[in-house]
Chains A and B, each alone.
Chain A
């Protein structure tokens, strides 16, 4: 058994709460996923790895650019010292040389800046594109169970606001950092060259600055971690409200929500304020250290000039360079701020990416055996299967079950009997705790994703429509389907009429989750999807609950032809479904208590015959 302890499904469906609370101190639902040590840096490195050459290039370009910029004052000095006397001698050579050099530096600094922005944007944007894709794709491999606990809001936050803080770092961070490094280096070399004693003393003043930087770095990482969590909470609330706007308004939740949102919003605001305040303290104290050092060095220099230990001109130049030595200290603060903000976000993202899917794809998938064209279905067998939630509540005790290829099986039983769990095991939403589910003798966990979905498709009662057209929504079943295929599927299921009655027919945009398409119509669309997918095994979990009777009958007629020869598992409360079934399984408390052809069970005295009678009475 390879199921990891942390990723077992929680209480997700029809079982009436015999599980202990699966949520208290759950890292996923608390937004505190475990992050392997160093994972965020490793992530950053892996994002930048393909651009290693470009990163080096940006460093080089920026170095040259800084050199061009720093050359200005040196050229001025040369012009005054050499150029002016030469001009007095009517020697215009140095003048022209200085002028040309200055012009060259000016153009070079502009061009290099231009180049730098382009290259670094490419590096940054490629990394972001890569990371967005990784988040999206990874999220799709994680199990349904994970998403139920992590919530869409948090995932959105990872893919938007957390990406945004990385974008800020990549956009400006490298430039800031390089600017700081280059100017620190050049200025301190110049200082030491001018007068090594001043230079060394100035560099000594960096010790308190370094301590300050360390304090600030740690503090801002803590703040930004809180901030990332806080904005995610805001987003979760935001999306929940927008997606539930009808009940929000109908039940007058506006004011209660306002108050709750204000709480979350002000928690986020506090983290923002804390970040800005920490920055303020950093800027103030670092400036203070710099300015006090500057005053000290000037006074000390004055004494050395008085003693004759230092030339006045050298001190004058050194003093001007000193100011510039301290200039980047502020920028360092800004850089640290965006770096720690990005680090906190990368931690969150790395935590998400480190989640292993609880139903992993096999490393070496096994192919499904070829099936004869005459036999569209496949055999399903549950071998020694049992299933329990990760918190220990057993839903399905160990059982064996074989569904021969081509059989249509109805699964009935009261709420909490384990019907949906059985279906989800077959669709491999979960893996069993023990035993194997086999499709034509191949364990589901050894099938590749595409093979699995050609083999088994599941239609659930929540018929979700994605934004896009109706045709696109049906085509989810088979992406390469032609329009004719799509229409055929819709016709077969009785959805064609309502679709063509819409303003743009199949090209009608369903808008935001189909606000105007009724629940019944959505179920028809999702049925059409399933027909188009044409799987060997079709699972229908309460897939007709919102249909009216003619609709349901149309679906059943379609099923009659479509399912012929195909293996099908149908879960339905309405026992009308049973009429198209070859076999009925009655479940109770996770066990299969009755199993047989419908007519036989109805004629008997068991639960099913009782249920059937009750249902007959309900459809008067």
Chain B
């Protein structure tokens, strides 16, 4: 529920217009249609101004003259104008329906694409609700703005300008009276823009925070149920939604002032013009008809002027939405893949996985904090399995994330068969390296698809082999076998079942390099033994790094590396380390801290 603070970097506020101009690249592909629609809308509203004039002409002309043919002609003209007006109204909307919904969809797709490619460190820092709200409510605000806001700002602006020209031409003295409120209104709008856009941004950020709380309340539902309730979360939800309500009320207050003044000031001017006009008519400086014509033009401008209030609000909401959207789109992508695979380094087949002087610190870590990993030198020979052992929180998982470049090492290098992974295109690197994560995540797809994600060839026999290795034969007993939907939108599987599927996914493509993060933690003893037996065969043909907490898992490995406080403290076989390294012995048996278990020699 924190997090929003650091999402407003430097709190520098772009002006509304500058923010909105950043939408241009997305609107550009449909600019023809878009500008066409604005033109059509302008024509349509000109038409709306012409129709009253035509009415007046018919009434004062043919009808007053009792000229039947003129009446029919006038009626026909009116009909033609009316049909045209209706047609233009419809055409405008139809012209933009496709392109503008397309703009929204493209922006959403672009956001999604970007998020998929932003580094894991970015995702670690952003609550998912904030990202999601950018892709939903913010883009909806933008659609509203593009579909109506822009068009009517232009159209109504033009209408007002044109109206004033007509007014000044009709009666310049009275016209000037009506122009008087423009200055205070412009000042008012500027003031409004500043405060309102700040409030709009706050409201949208708060929606993002609320989204996060709602999401967590579902993802953490087992904890909430297990403990009855999460009062902190409930309080956070209540506070956040109350705060959001407060922000919305603040917006309403600003809008109320703006709208009230926008309604009242021009009317006051019209009232003044009316009084002045009456005197002029009485003095015969002006005909009554001319005054009526002048005032009806002025009244016709009422709606365009009033609309400025909510159009400004829409524009500011959209500007805040754009800023929020761009904040993600501006986040730097990881360094692009090298254009050509580094030819400087000839691959050394059979060199295995080598880490040299690898250091890692989180990008947002304070500068004085020690790196999470430093001076890591580790060599896993081709075909070898290395177990990685270390106390909870020693950086094992972080180390494994460096190999497929989910995080980028901040110093040193990692090579696979002599090739620096930093020089490999990510796509290729990740095809070489397969990972089973500590937390087995299944996607909403069939069980089989979830496994075959690990490979480019989707052969049934490969699938069956992988399922067999991972002892995931339970898949065959699912309602639709391996075609059963699993994941969030499918059957929920137990932790052990998910872990076995994730393991199958890691081994399915017979990867050259395999990284397994505590792959057997959720399995029962019996299944674990079966998986180990099958896994041994797989490990014999691949170069593997296996994070292990238990001797049984360590025994899968040829050698063991002990990670301690960010460094590799020792490398050797299980037996060697057990005898030579106190920390290792403690991690594997816990004896130092648990003397009463000493009687149990095998532990």
Q: Which size bracket describes the interface of B in this complex? A: 35 or more
Counting CB contacts under 8 A, is B35 at the interface?
Answer: no
Complex alpha-carbon distance, A240 and B489, angstroms: 10
Contact B214 A155 (CB under 8 A): yes
Q: How far is the CA of A552 from the CA of B123 in the complex (A)?
A: 31
Task: Give chain A residues whose Cβ lies under 8 Å from the Cβ of B126.
Answer: 512
Q: A76-B295, A242-B128 are in contact. Are A283 and B82 (CB under 8 A)?
A: no
Interface residues of A in 435-467 (CB under 8 A from B): 449-450, 452-453, 457-464, 466-467
Residue among A147, A164, A249, A294 making CB contact with B406, cutoff 8 Å: A249
A313-356 CB mask vs B (1 if < 8 Å, else 0) is 00110011001000000100000000000000000000000000
User: How many Å from the CB of B320 to the closest CB on chain A?
Assistant: 15
Measured in the bound complex, the distance between the Cα atoms of B268 and A383 in whole Å is 81
B248 touches A414 (CB 8 A): no
**Quick check: A464 and B223 within 8 Å, CB to CB?**
yes
Q: Mark A549-562, 1 if CB is under 8 A from B, else 0.
A: 11111100100000
Contacts of A73 on B, CB cut-off 8 Å? 299
> Complex formed: what's the CA distance from A468 to B506 in Å?
33
Residues of B within 8 A of A159 (CB): 210-211, 214
From A21, A463, A512, A616, B128 is in contact (CB under 8 Å) with: A512
Given A140-B229, A619-B602, are A513 and B521 neighbors across the interface (CB < 8 Å)?
no
A222 to chain B, nearest CB (A): 17
Please tell me if the beta carbons of B71 and A303 are within 8 angstroms of each other in the complex. Answer: yes
Instruction: Looking at the assembled complex, report how far the CB atom of B65 sits from the nearest CB atom of chain A, in whole angstroms.
Output: 10
Asked whether any CB of chain A lies closer than 8 Å to the CB of B200, the reply is no
Q: Which of B112, B299, B528 contacts A238 (CB 8 A)?
A: B112
Q: B233 to chain A: which residues have CB within 8 Å?
A: 466, 476
Give the chain A neighbours of B29 by CB distance below 8 A: none
Give the CA-CA distance A197 to B268 in the complex, in Å: 36
> Is residue B52 within 8 Å, beta carbon to beta carbon, of the partner chain?
yes
Of residues 157 through 201 on chain A, the ones whose CB sits less than 8 Å from some CB of chain B are 157, 159-161, 164, 172
Verify B226–A460 contact, CB threshold 8 A: yes
- Would B275 and A466 count as touching, CB distance under 8 A? no
Most chain B C-beta atoms within 10 Å of own C-beta, residue among A75, A116, A549, A574: A549
Bound form: Cα–Cα A573–B123 in Å: 33
Proximity bits, A227-267, B CB within 8 Å = 1, else 0: 00001001111111111111111111110011001100110
| B259/A156 in contact, CB under 8 A | no
Q: Which residues of the partner chain A approach B14 to less than 8 Å between Cβ atoms?
A: none
A6 at the interface (CB under 8 A from B): no
Asked if A281 and B128 sit within 8 Å, CB to CB, the answer is no
A residues within 8 A CB of B19? Answer: none
Q: Contact between A457 and B292 (Cβ–Cβ < 8 Å)?
A: no
Q: How far is the CA of A105 from the CA of B302 in the complex (A)?
A: 14
A518 B248 Cβ-Cβ under 8 A: no
Chain B 487-526, CB-CB to A under 8 Å as 1, else 0, gives 1111111111100001001000000000000100111111
Choose from B135, B527, B549 the contact partner of A547 (Cβ within 8 Å). B549
For B256, the chain A residues whose CB sits under 8 A away are 113-118, 121
CA gap between A249 and B441 in the complex, in Å:
12
Chain A, residue nearest B108 (CB): A265
How far apart sit A75 and B295, CA to CA, in the bound complex (Å)?
11
A452 touches B228 (CB 8 A): yes
* B582 contact set on A, CB distance < 8 A: none
Instruction: Check B105 against A265 for contact (C-beta < 8 Å).
Output: yes
Check if B551 sits within 8 Å of A266, measured CB to CB.
Answer: no
Most-contacted residue by chain A among B90, B236, B485, B529 (CB, 10 A) = B90
In the complex, which residues of chain A have a beta carbon less than 8 angstroms from the beta carbon of B91? 280, 284
A529 adjacent to chain B (CB < 8 Å): yes
Contact of B245 among A29, A128, A231 (CB under 8 A): A128
How far does the Cβ of B324 sit from chain A's closest Cβ, in whole Å?
14
B435: Cβ under 8 A from any A Cβ: yes
Quote the shortest CB–CB distance from B482 to chain A (angstroms).
Answer: 11
Residue of A nearest to B87 (CB): A284
Q: Which residues of B contact A117 (CB under 8 A)?
A: 252, 255-256, 259-260
CB–CB B137/A475 < 8 A: no
Q: Is the CB of A476 within 8 A of B479?
A: no
> Which residues of A are found within 8 Å of B72, using beta-carbon distances?
299
When distances are taken between beta carbons in the complex, the residues of chain A under 8 Å from B397 are 518-519
Is A420 at the interface (CB under 8 A from chain B)? yes
Which of B155-163, B187-195, B583-591 forms contacts with chain A? B583-591
Q: How far is the CA of A105 from the CA of B262 in the complex (A)?
A: 14
Give the chain B neighbours of A246 by CB distance below 8 A.
120, 401, 406, 437, 441
Q: Given A12-B492, A294-B82, A615-B525 in contact, is the A245-B123 Cβ separation under 8 Å?
A: yes
Partner of A249, one of B79, B116, B434: B116
Residue among B79, B241, B550 with most chain A CB within 10 A: B241
Please determine whether A453 and B66 come into contact, CB atoms closer than 8 angstroms.
no
Identify the stretch in A95-103, A362-370, A371-379, A591-599 within 8 Å (CB) of chain B at 4 or more residues: A95-103
Residues of B106-126 at the interface with A, using a CB-CB cut-off of 8 Å, are: 108-109, 112-113, 115-117, 120, 123-126
Q: Which of chain A's residues 103-159 have a Cβ closer than 8 Å to chain B? A: 103, 105-107, 109-111, 113-118, 121-122, 125-126, 128-129, 132-133, 135-137, 139-140, 143-144, 147-148, 151-153, 155-157, 159
Chain A neighbourhood of B100, CB < 8 A: 276
> In the complex, what's the smallest C-beta–C-beta distance from B170 to chain A, in angstroms?
15
Rounded to whole angstroms, the CA-CA distance of A616 and B551 in the bound complex is: 11
Chain A residues within an 8 Å CB radius of B182? none
CB of A512 within 8 A of CB of B228, answer no
Q: Does A394 contact B (CB under 8 A)?
A: no
B212 touches A467 (CB 8 A): yes
Residues of B contacting A536 in the complex (Cβ-Cβ under 8 angstroms): none
The segment from A32-40, A82-90, A210-218 found at the interface with B is: A82-90
Select A98's contact among B234, B274, B438, B488, beta carbons within 8 Å. Answer: B274
* Interface residue? B59 (CB, 8 A): yes
Nearest A-chain residue to B452, judged by Cβ? A251
* Interface-side segment among B20-28, B278-286, B347-355: B278-286
Kindly report which residue of chain A lies nearest to residue B478, judged by CB atoms: A17
A477 contacts B by Cβ under 8 Å: yes
Which of B59, B62, B299, B454 counts the most chain A CB atoms within 10 A?
B59
Pairwise interchain contact A102-B85, C-beta atoms closer than 8 A: no
Residue numbers in A under 8 Å from B93 (CB-CB)? 276-277, 279-280, 283-284
Q: Is A384 an interface residue (CB 8 A)?
A: no
Question: Assuming A23-B479, A269-B105, what are 11 further A-B pairs, CB within 8 angstroms?
Answer: A13-B493, A29-B490, A109-B264, A125-B248, A132-B210, A140-B229, A155-B214, A291-B81, A460-B222, A524-B392, A575-B525
17 contacts between A and B (CB under 8 A): A14-B494, A17-B478, A102-B274, A106-B268, A147-B218, A151-B489, A156-B211, A160-B132, A247-B502, A249-B404, A250-B437, A280-B89, A415-B496, A511-B125, A548-B550, A614-B529, A618-B550
